[in-house]
Amino acid sequence: MNKFENIKKLIVEDQLKLDCGQTISNFPIAYETYGKLNSKKSNAILVFHALTGDQFATDINPITKKDGWWKYALGPGKAIDTEKYFVICANVLGGCMGSFGPSSINPKTGKTYEIDFPVITINDMVNAQYFLIKHFEIEKLFCVTGGSMGGMQVLQFVANYPNLSQTAVPIACTSNHSAQNIALNELGRQAIMADAKWQNGKYEESNASPDKGLSVARMAAHISYLSKDALQEKFGRKLQERDDLKFSFDADFQIESYLRHQGSVFVDRFDANSYLYITRAMDYFDLNKKYEGNLSKAFKDSKTKFFIISFTSDWLYPSSENKEIVIALNSIGADVGYIEIESDKGHDSFLLNVPDFLETLRGFLNTSYERLNEKRI
Amino acid sequence: MKKEFKIISDLILKNSRVLDVGCGDGELMSFLYKNITKDVRGIEISKQNVQKCISKGLTAIEGDAEKDLIQFPDSSFDIVILSQTLQAFLNPEKVLNELLRVGKKAIVTIPNFGHWKVRLNLLFKGTMPVTKSLPHQWHNTPNLHMCTIKDFSDFCDNKKIKFIKSLALDGEKLLNISRTNLGKRNLFSEIGIFLIEK
């Protein structure tokens, strides 16, 4: 894919055994870095992105020309201060921003993998990104963080590499996908598959993509990222550029027009098959089950300092689910802090300008960094 | 620095594992972190206070001591501190039991409702007492279960809770509480400080 020629990529030559049983090697992990790695290599933060994110966490995304998804939290002088920290962010396995995914070319056939791509998991994503840490020869990360699916990767990362990061900040996430989470993802997948242009996933050849289906998937998902109150306050029953109802199925209401817009801009930057694969990975995520129903066991070997953040109006990954992680950590005497931030912006709060959240994140990172460095002296 | 902090910290061995229940903005935790132990954490019901703790680099969990202590295993801390908040709980007995389950020992401090100023206030003014250590009016006080040093002593005796150390703060003076001077301490002390175990 030419458009990804000028972005940073690590070709992982090692073999990676996936949860599905297949082994991959010589695969690309596309990534971006912000800030400078200090001489002691002690200031690195690995940021994991959410379902539809990518490695371009801040600044202008060179491919989409849009702002990075974490522009409020990450950058010079921001909560994750890139004047102080070296931030690495990779496009997940299965993604569509240059990493190994369903739109990569299968060397055996010379065609894109599409749905012949192996089903991947959060565990596989994390293990693939581990190669980046090796690549930078970082022995100990200062922090791993991310929201939503990024938070799940944080949990998985600490479980897999218990002492590779000094601190971990999972945000607005869960240790296992609930029936409601799976149901919402399934709705999105079925919307894509119901689009005739999906063609059982083999749409790249015919140069037609299931834009309608993907856009409906995005619309449904987008509702789950917002709170009822925020929607009501922003849109209520306001009409879209008209004085009265038109007695038709046009977008009479502003909320309809808004969702349609969200759907249509999404299809320009995201691949439908990637959407299927990544939502599947989220649904398969169950750290509890992996550790015999006892989440505490996932972290029992870790000395990592945890700080867990949830949001009052997040109904997708509600505080109660975030708190289960806190409880699991407390029950083994791990070092864990927890706060529920007051916000009416729903699950998306972690991406938005929520000053209480940003200040708390900044406070945690900066004081932890100072303390860890003072300990070392 | 509050005098009470110094007294509390004198009851804690260096490098102990400490939980501060109702840790507020982390003032006591900061003091302990600097002087006694790095292994200190808090649980606090107010978001604003948790944020303040975090920004001071302290480990704090947002939570309600009446519900959320359950997540800690038995004897997971050397010391659990409850500083002047016992009277604010709906069910102080339950909280006290939880403190002594989670901690090998507990430090409980109480504002003494048996202090002579409190008694005089009610006797002569006929209104609910408002003093320096009990600054609220009857209608806005967070204190649901006020008690005296004597009440607390009797309660612990009844529940077979052992006193390792009982101290009273009378102005600037720190005094021991014993069976023989309990009545006097109960009249003249503003704050009772107890190191207890089950």
Q: For chain B, say whether A131 makes contact (Cβ under 8 Å).
A: no
Q: For chain A, say whether B160 makes contact (Cβ under 8 Å).
A: no
Q: Answer yes or no: do A211 and A130 share one domain.
A: no
Class of domain B3-114+146-197: alpha beta
**CATH code for the domain of A206:** 1.10.1740.110
The Cα–Cα gap between A340 and A318 comes to 10
Tell me which residue range forms the domain holding A275: 182-279
Mind listing the pLDDT tens digit for each residue in B177-198? 999 999 999 999 999 999 999 9
Domain boundary among A279, A310, A334: A279
Say whether pLDDT at A375 is over 80.
Answer: no
Q: For chain B, say whether A364 makes contact (Cβ under 8 Å).
A: yes
Q: For chain B, say whether A370 makes contact (Cβ under 8 Å).
A: yes
State residue B1's pLDDT score: 52
Residues of chain A with pLDDT > 70, as a percent, come to 99
Q: What is the mean pLDDT of residues A47-63?
A: 97
Q: What is the mean pLDDT of chain A?
A: 96
Q: Answer yes or no: do A170 and A313 share one domain.
A: yes
Which residues lie across from A291 on neighbouring strands? none
* Active-site residue, from A103, A104, A148, A310: A148
Q: Report helix angle A355-376 to B47-55, nearest 10.
A: 30
Q: What is the dihedral of CA A271, A272, A278, A279, to 10 degrees?
A: 150
Q: Answer yes or no: do A270 and A315 share one domain.
A: no
Q: What beta strand segments (E) does B46-190 contain?
A: 59-62, 77-83, 103-111, 162-170, 173-176
In B59-118, the residues whose Cβ lies within 8 Å of chain A are 59-63, 71-73, 76
Say whether pLDDT at A164 is over 60.
Answer: yes
The Cα–Cα gap between A49 and A122 comes to 12
The Cα–Cα gap between A35 and A42 comes to 13
Which residues lie across from A87 on neighbouring strands? A34, A45
DSSP letter, residue A239: B
Counting one residue from A and one from B, how many pairs have CB atoms under 8 Å apart?
60
Residue A109 Cα, gap to closest chain B Cα (Å): 54
State residue B132's pLDDT score: 81
Decide if A49 is catalytic.
Answer: no
* Active-site residue, from A347, A348, A349, A368: A347
Say whether pLDDT at A377 is over 50.
Answer: no
* Active-site residue, from A165, A314, A348, A349: A314
State residue B27's pLDDT score: 96
CB contact at 8 A, B47 and B28: no
State residue A87's pLDDT score: 98
| Nearest chain A alpha carbon to B49 | A339
* Contact between B72 and A326 using a beta-carbon 8 Å cutoff: no
Q: Answer yes or no: do A157 and A269 share one domain.
A: no
Q: Answer yes or no: do A140 and A235 share one domain.
A: no
Decide if A257 is catalytic.
Answer: no
Q: What is the mean pLDDT of residues A26-37?
A: 98
Tell me which of B44, B46, B62, B64 to substitute to probe the interface with A (most A C-beta atoms closer than 10 Å): B62
Say whether pLDDT at A177 is over 90.
Answer: yes
Q: Answer yes or no: do A23 and A88 share one domain.
A: yes
State residue B130's pLDDT score: 87
Q: Answer yes or no: do A165 and A65 share one domain.
A: yes
Tokens of A246: 């038109």
pLDDT band at residue A68 under the 50/70/90 scheme: very high
* Contact between A339 and B57 using a beta-carbon 8 Å cutoff: no
Instruction: Name residues of chain B where pLDDT drops below 50.
Output: none
Query: Strand B77-83 and strand B59-62: pairing?
Result: unpaired
State residue A4's pLDDT score: 87
Residue with tokens 């190669």: A131
Residues of A in contact with B41 (CB under 8 A): 335, 337
Q: What is the mean pLDDT of residues A22-43?
A: 97
Residue with tokens 């201060």: A81
Residues of B in contact with A368 (CB under 8 A): 57
Domain boundary among A244, A279, A314: A279
Tell me which of A338, A359, A360, A369 to substitute to probe the interface with B (most B C-beta atoms closer than 10 Å): A338
Tell me which of A319, A330, A364, A368 to substitute to probe the interface with B (most B C-beta atoms closer than 10 Å): A330
Q: What is the mean pLDDT of residues A68-73?
A: 98
Mind listing the pLDDT tens digit for each residue in B1-23? 578 899 999 999 999 999 999 99
The Cα–Cα gap between A95 and A232 comes to 33
CB contact at 8 A, B165 and B156: no
Say whether pLDDT at A163 is over 50.
Answer: yes
pTM (whole model) above 0.95 = no
The Cα–Cα gap between A78 and A76 comes to 5
* Contact between A359 and B55 using a beta-carbon 8 Å cutoff: yes
Q: For chain B, say whether A342 makes contact (Cβ under 8 Å).
A: yes
CB contact at 8 A, A187 and A174: no
State residue A111's pLDDT score: 93
Q: What is the DSSP string of A271-302?
A: -HHHHHHHHHHHHH-BHHHHTTT-HHHHTTT-
CA distance to A53, A151, B43, B49, B62, per residue, from A307 (Å) = 22, 11, 13, 15, 11
Q: Answer yes or no: do A256 and A313 share one domain.
A: no
Q: Please report, for chain B, the start and end positions of each structural domain, with discontinuous segments joined by +.
A: 3-114+146-197
CB contact at 8 A, A309 and A171: yes
Q: Answer yes or no: do A365 and A254 share one domain.
A: no
| Nearest chain B alpha carbon to A305 | B59
Tell me which of B30, B50, B61 to substitute to probe the interface with A (most A C-beta atoms closer than 10 Å): B61
Q: Answer yes or no: do A207 and A351 share one domain.
A: no
Say whether pLDDT at A330 is over 70.
Answer: yes
Domain boundary among A228, A253, A279: A279
Task: Tell me the torsion sign for CA atoms B36, B41, B45, B46.
Answer: positive
SS3 A186: helix
Q: Answer yes or no: do A19 and A122 share one domain.
A: yes
Mind listing the pLDDT tens digit for each residue in A280-306? 999 999 999 999 999 999 999 999 999
Helix (H) or strand (E) holding A201: none
Amino acid at B83: S
* Contact between B54 and A307 using a beta-carbon 8 Å cutoff: yes
Residue A356 Cα, gap to closest chain B Cα (Å): 8
**CATH code for the domain of A30:** 3.40.50.1820
State residue A376's pLDDT score: 53
Query: Strand A44-47 and strand A16-17: pairing?
Result: unpaired
* Contact between A364 and B47 using a beta-carbon 8 Å cutoff: no
Q: For chain A, say whether B41 makes contact (Cβ under 8 Å).
A: yes
Amino acid at B88: A
Q: Answer yes or no: do A186 and A256 share one domain.
A: yes
Nearest to B61 among A326, A333, A356 (CB): A326
Q: Where are the alpha helices (DSSP H) in A49-160?
A: 122-135, 149-160
In B4-23, the residues whose Cβ lies within 8 Å of chain A are 17
* Contact between A326 and B56 using a beta-carbon 8 Å cutoff: no
Q: What is the mean pLDDT of residues A239-258?
A: 94
Q: What is the DSSP string of A303-325?
A: -PEEEEEEETT--SS-HHHHHHH
Q: How many domains does chain A have?
A: 2
List all residues 6 or more positions away from B53 whose beta carbon is below 8 Å from its beta carbon. Answer: A337, B23, B25, B26, B29, B42, B44, B59, B60
* Contact between A367 and B63 using a beta-carbon 8 Å cutoff: no
Residue B135 Cα, gap to closest chain A Cα (Å): 29
